[in-house]
């Protein structure tokens, strides 16, 4: 899905290698900083962002992110839950490192996926998990349905996750974060055509690329002003110039999420 051709893949790998070599040489003042993930960010902790959850399999292997919005409710992406059951999934809070054993592990008693979800390119990429064990961490606030102005183009948004640190790369053992500007709907539509569903999606990323979520970050938060405003959903490759990341436009689904949170 959303693959690159071989030449572009090779170019991405070459660019990453060159950047890493430049850093190793402690280089010239004009040298650009090497891309660091998510793609292009810095390490952080679940102490700094206590509502960021690992979504894992039954063996606690992380495959998606999620956001704690009440002690027993986690918002994630519907596409993360395809093929999953309440017995196949766990939610892990308070664990900064993928190879950690600390924090709180909860089973899931209910998986609600948007009933219209079919594929990320059709929107509706939202799910709410109900936890069997309460998480002793401060939940995030999330946008209300009326707060549509939060996505104004150029607004700084924060992304978080354990996903790949470069396209076709590998996961980050430590939680990472970066900031990216929101992108106008018209600009995103010109990148993605009919794959960009304005009502259900919002784009964020630098025009020049280099900073983005990537595989394994899905389901995790896009925060605007510290409030959950999007869910990592999809994109063409990762951190490519002209192809910002696509996030679930949470204002559209806020009322549905609240119904689940209160259920």
Assess 238 for contact with ligand ARG (CB under 6 A).
Answer: yes
Q: Which residue is nearest to ligand ARG (CB)?
A: 235
Catalytic: which of 124, 125, 212, 217? 125
Catalytic: which of 121, 218, 233, 254? 218
Which lies closer to ligand ARG via its Cβ, residue 221 or residue 245?
245
* Contacts with ligand ARG, 144-183, as mask; x by CB under 6 A: -------------------x--------------------
For residue 232, the SS3 value is strand
Residue 85 contacts residue 129 (beta carbons within 8 Å)? no
Which lies closer to ligand ARG via its Cβ, residue 72 or residue 151?
151
CB of 211 to ligand ARG, least distance (A): 10
Assess 96 for contact with ligand ARG (CB under 6 A).
Answer: no
For residue 18, the SS3 value is helix
CB of 2 to ligand ARG, least distance (A): 8
Query: Token match 């002690």: residue?
Result: 71
DSSP 135-175: --SPPPPB--TT-GGGG-TT-EEEEEES-BSSTT--B-SB-
Residue 42 contacts residue 36 (beta carbons within 8 Å)? yes
Taking the C-alpha atoms of residue 253 and residue 230, their distance in angstroms, rounded to an integer, is 10
Please indicate whether residue 186 is annotated as part of the active site.
no
Stretch that binds ligand ARG, among 14-22, 107-115, 123-131, 230-238 (CB under 6 A): 230-238
- Considering only residues 172, 232, 248, 254, which one is a binding residue for ligand ARG as defined by CB under 6 A? 232
Stretch that binds ligand ARG, among 8-16, 44-52, 169-177, 229-237 (CB under 6 A): 229-237
Assess 248 for contact with ligand ARG (CB under 6 A).
Answer: no
Please indicate whether residue 187 is annotated as part of the active site.
no
Which lies closer to ligand ARG via its Cβ, residue 77 or residue 135?
77
Nearest C-alpha neighbor of 104 from the set 113, 96, 95: 95
Catalytic: which of 79, 121, 124, 254? 79
Query: Token match 């071989």: residue?
Result: 6
Please indicate whether residue 200 is annotated as part of the active site.
no
Residue 205 contacts residue 157 (beta carbons within 8 Å)? no
* Contacts with ligand ARG, 189-228, as mask; x by CB under 6 A: -----------------------xxxxxxx----------
Taking the C-alpha atoms of residue 150 and residue 154, their distance in angstroms, rounded to an integer, is 10
187's CB contacts (< 8 A; 6+ apart) are 153, 203
Nearest C-alpha neighbor of 259 from the set 128, 131, 107, 150: 128
122 CA to centre of own chain: 18
Q: In the complex, which residues of this chain contact ligand ARG (CB under 6 A)?
A: 163, 212-218, 232, 234-235, 238, 245
């Amino acid at each position: 899905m959303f693959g690159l051709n071989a030449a572009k893949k090779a170019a991405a790998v070459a660019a990453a290698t060159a950047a890493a070599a430049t850093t190793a040489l402690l280089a010239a003042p004009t040298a650009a900083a090497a891309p660091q993930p998510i793609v292009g960010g810095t390490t952080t902790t679940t102490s700094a962002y206590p509502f960021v959850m690992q979504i894992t399999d039954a063996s606690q292997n992380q495959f998606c992110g999620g956001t704690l919005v009440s002690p027993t409710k986690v918002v994630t992406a519907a596409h993360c839950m395809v093929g999953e059951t309440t017995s196949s999934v766990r939610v892990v809070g308070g664990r900064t490192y993928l190879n950690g054993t600390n924090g709180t592990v909860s089973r899931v008693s209910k998986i609600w996926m948007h009933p219209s979800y079919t594929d990320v390119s059709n929107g509706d990429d939202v799910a709410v998990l109900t936890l069997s064990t309460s998480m002793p961490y401060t939940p995030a606030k999330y946008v209300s349905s009326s707060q549509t102005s939060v996505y104004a183009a150029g607004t700084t948004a924060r992304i978080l996750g354990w996903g790949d640190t470069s396209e076709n790369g590998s996961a980050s053992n430590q939680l990472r974060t970066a900031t990216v500007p929101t992108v106008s709907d018209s600009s995103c539509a010109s990148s993605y055509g009919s794959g960009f569903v304005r009502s259900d999606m919002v784009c964020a990323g630098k025009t020049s690329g280099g900073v983005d979520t990537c595989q394994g970050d899905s389901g995790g938060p896009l925060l605007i002003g510290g409030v959950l405003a999007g869910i990592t959903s999809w994109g063409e490759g990762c951190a490519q110039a002209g192809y910002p990341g696509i996030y679930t436009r949470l204002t559209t689904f806020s009322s549905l999420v609240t119904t689940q949170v209160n259920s």
